[in-house]
Amino acid sequence: MATFGSFALLIALALAAYNLLAGAIALRLLATGQPAPISPERLADTARRAGIAGFVAISAAAFALVWLVFTNDFSITYIMEHSNRALPGPYKFAALWSGQEGSLLLWAWLLGTYGFVLRLTHKYDVRLYAYAGTILAAVQVFFLAVVNFAAPPFALMKGAIPDDGNGLNPLLQYPEMVIHPPLLYLGYVGFTVPFAFALGALMMRYPGEKWIKITRLWTMVTWLFLTMGIFLGMHWAYAVLGWGGYWGWDPVENASFMPWLTGTAFLHSVMMQEKKGMMKSWNVWLIFATFLLTLLGTLLTRAGLVSSVHAFAQSSIGTWFVVFMGLVLAVCLFTYILQRSHLKVDNHLESLVSRESSFLFNNLVLLVACFVILWGTLFPVLSEFVVGNKVTVGAPFYNRVAVPIGLFLLFLTGVGPLLPWRATSLRSIRRNFVVPTIAVWATVIVCLAVGVRPWHDGAFDSGNFYALVAFAVSAGVMAAILSEFLRGAGVISQQTGRNLFAATWLLTRRNTRRYGGYIIHIGVVIVVIGLAGAAFNSNAEKELGLHDKLAIGPYTLECVGFTQDSNLNYNSEYAMLDVYKDGKKQFQMTPEKRVYLASQQPQTMVAIHSVLSWDLYVVYEGANPDTGQPIIKAIINPLVSWLWAGVAIIVFGTFVALVPSLTPATAALRVPATRTAPSEPAFKGGL
């Protein structure tokens, strides 16, 4: 089976190379009109079919690797290093992406899958799809070359074949790790498609903005996958690493966040090109930068350039990625310079207080945030290269810079929908900003009244200050968004006689893109409220003997037992803690510490009790070697549940935005015949 897998990868590389070569020749012939022994259309079609066949070949290779994992073939180096006989089935499947070679194969397979779907839908615009398919083939050639020659997943063991493998990294033996990496990769790899369309449209001087409408679906689905992947990674870090947090500005966390920032900027910016013919160069370079950042993220993780719980060891593939990124950048620059006249804008910014300017500021702030994170992430690598010492950049640096930037972005989220196109009158500002301003100051007063103050023990407390600002701005943004819903729904309710809920649903269905975007922004507000809760964390730690107690917040934890257990995969120790509130037992928690037999690596299994206001987060830190008694750390994490609720709302809003809006004829059927359907409110924003 290993031979079959290796052969399938070679076949896939040959097919991708043919797809690239034949596609490029066909496009050149079509552009120049030169006579050829075979028609360009026929040649382009054979290139497309080669791309489809290549997907089948990569799928066969991926199947072969999974088969070898499940059959415990430890003659394969990759399987010996990332699996063992006692590993549960779901984690055996996850071994496909748990190591460098397998994860690169997964990238190639997902890219092949995206390309397969693209090539099946090529009749939507044959020539543009041919350009995009050829560019995808070029990227595929690179990744298949890497897995064939630099990081082969089917490499054989040297020397004696062991009876069992080293097992999967204990940090990855958690249910979310079965779905978190594939979702993250679906986001990473998916941005190759809008990149290919953008580069192809620029190469062929594609008329109009149709390429943006084509790529919108691809970009939003990709963005959604990346968003879910990032938040699942946050939840994994929260539930597995045992440090009580969910985002530590780890270099690999940053690597996934940077393309998310530029991808978000692109999703907003393209609306300016669609509606106003503006920011064309911005859009091209935003998607170019997003694709390059996905490659950089893969380089950071897979080449071991940075120290991270996510990253692999140093390897030789770094040179491959650096060279490829250089080639991509050179192609993008050359194409842009050659075709920049095609990107002349149709309109210009008329006022700094307008919807257009809010989009521009939104883009600028997102790019500043991305640059700050990029600088902090690469600084250790650059410092080692320049002075010979690796200088790390910690969370305080990012928090000092990223938190104010994030709050300003949140502010723009609320301001944008309230500004009209072109220019804003003073009367319009007064009318639209009254309710959000009242919400902001009312929230400030309430927060101060309940003890959220920007000072502590007579000294300025930046954490409390930023939390106060976050709560206040969140209230203002929420008021602005809800006002937009209520204003439009009120008009429909008045003219159709429907109740407010039904009118809101009809309003959303009439313009799903706009109101789906609003729902996404509501989710972002909820996430920010959850993040602001981190300013009020509290913790306590104590060694607990039998019936000893630990008090934290409104809870009292009593140790009622501590014991050991084992199975074929790991040994474990855990404590049994009864949790009391107001003198009454509420529930029991059992934090655990595991040691996996194959690797002899420890793993923390955190016990978490969540309510809307906070999480009770309990960690078993091990037994005191002198007394044998468990050491327990308990943390109160306010508002963490709001994070996960916020991302659920973001996902829902994205699905709403992806649903086609009601056509005028269909919308008319939703309104009683005796009524007149209202006109659509003025704002046409959203994602």
In whole angstroms, give the CA distance from residue 632 to residue 619.
Answer: 6
Among 351, 367, 387, identify where a domain stops.
387
In whole angstroms, give the CA distance from residue 425 to residue 420.
Answer: 9
Report yes or no on 503 lying in a domain.
no
Q: What pLDDT is attached to residue 673?
A: 42
Report yes or no on 475 lying in a domain.
no
Clarify whether residues 159 and 276 are in a common domain: no
DSSP 349: -
Please, are residues 552 and 589 in contact by the beta-carbon 8 Å criterion?
A: no
Report, as an integer, the average pLDDT of 470-475.
95
Task: Give the tens place of pLDDT for each residue, 59-116.
Answer: 999 999 999 999 999 999 999 999 989 888 888 998 888 888 999 999 999 999 999 9
Residue ranges making up the domain that contains 104:
1-168
- pTM higher than the cut 0.75: yes
Report, as an integer, the average pLDDT of 21-29.
92
Q: What pLDDT is attached to residue 24?
A: 94
Report yes or no on 669 lying in a domain.
no
Clarify whether residues 203 and 162 are in a common domain: no
Clarify whether residues 128 and 181 are in a common domain: no
Average pLDDT, the chain: 87
Clarify whether residues 30 and 161 are in a common domain: yes
Report yes or no on 55 lying in a domain.
yes
Clarify whether residues 77 and 178 are in a common domain: no
Report yes or no on 287 lying in a domain.
yes
Model confidence band, residue 147 (pLDDT cutoffs 50, 70, 90) = very high
pLDDT at 400 over 70: yes
Among 600, 624, 641, identify where a domain stops.
641
Clarify whether residues 196 and 114 are in a common domain: no
Q: What pLDDT is attached to residue 647?
A: 96
Among 100, 134, 168, identify where a domain stops.
168
Clarify whether residues 225 and 163 are in a common domain: no
Q: What pLDDT is attached to residue 286?
A: 94
**Which residues, 6 or more positions from 34, have their beta carbon under 8 angstroms from its beta carbon?**
none
In whole angstroms, give the CA distance from residue 323 to residue 346.
Answer: 37
Residues in the chain: 687
Report yes or no on 625 lying in a domain.
yes
Report yes or no on 401 lying in a domain.
no
Clarify whether residues 292 and 217 are in a common domain: yes
Please, are residues 395 and 380 in contact by the beta-carbon 8 Å criterion?
A: no
Clarify whether residues 94 and 21 are in a common domain: yes
Question: What is the count of structural domains for the chain?
Answer: 3
Clarify whether residues 159 and 181 are in a common domain: no
Report, as an integer, the average pLDDT of 167-188.
87
Clarify whether residues 119 and 238 are in a common domain: no
Clarify whether residues 376 and 267 are in a common domain: yes
In whole angstroms, give the CA distance from residue 494 to residue 488.
Answer: 10
Amino acid, single-letter form, for residue 407? L
Task: Give the tens place of pLDDT for each residue, 282-329.
Answer: 899 999 999 999 999 888 877 666 655 555 545 678 889 999 999 999
* Cα-based distances in Å from 139 to 6, 24, 146, 156, 518: 20, 13, 11, 27, 35
State percent of the chain over pLDDT 70: 91
Report yes or no on 497 lying in a domain.
no
Q: How many CB atoms lie within 10 A of CB 453?
A: 13
Given phi > 0 = left and psi -120 to 50 = alpha, else beta, which region is 479?
A: alpha
**Which residues, 6 or more positions from 645, have their beta carbon under 8 angstroms from its beta carbon?**
526, 530
* Cα-based distances in Å from 108 to 59, 66, 327, 349: 9, 15, 19, 42
More confident residue, 520 or 624: 520
In whole angstroms, give the CA distance from residue 88 to residue 502.
Answer: 48
